Amino acid sequence: MPFEPIKRILPKVVASHGMTTQLRVRRVLESSAAVLAGLWGPERATFVHAVSFRDGELKLEVRSAAALQEIRMDEMRLMNGINREVGERAIVRIHAVSKGF
């Protein structure tokens, strides 16, 4: 009896348990932090925190007016980088909100 590779089995198991959406959200949130750190550097990226992802919209909390302005200027680069990292066109818009300034 031949063995089936785990990379074929795992997506089926995840889908059968209804966890596909949860994993997609987690991948987008984790990728957003990594891509932002790559674009801005880890020190400046600490001013931005990915809060949620739903229906193609990534919500970010920003703790600096300068970072909020840069998010708006780099929005397309950030979206493209995250989508590239995730491997699909998951994000269609970014909603950045100020927090604490």
SS3 letters across 40-96: HCHHHHCCEEEEEEECCEEEEEECCHHHHHHHHHCHHHHHHHHHHHHCCCCCCEEEE
pLDDT in the model for residue 70: 92
pLDDT value of residue 3: 81
- Enter the pTM of the model: 0.77
Check residue 18 and give its pLDDT: 63
Q: One digit per residue, pLDDT tens: the chain, 101 residues? A: 678 787 777 667 666 766 567 888 999 999 999 999 999 999 999 999 999 999 999 999 999 999 999 999 999 999 999 999 999 999 999 999 998 76
Which domains does the chain carry? Answer: 6-98 (3.30.300.20)
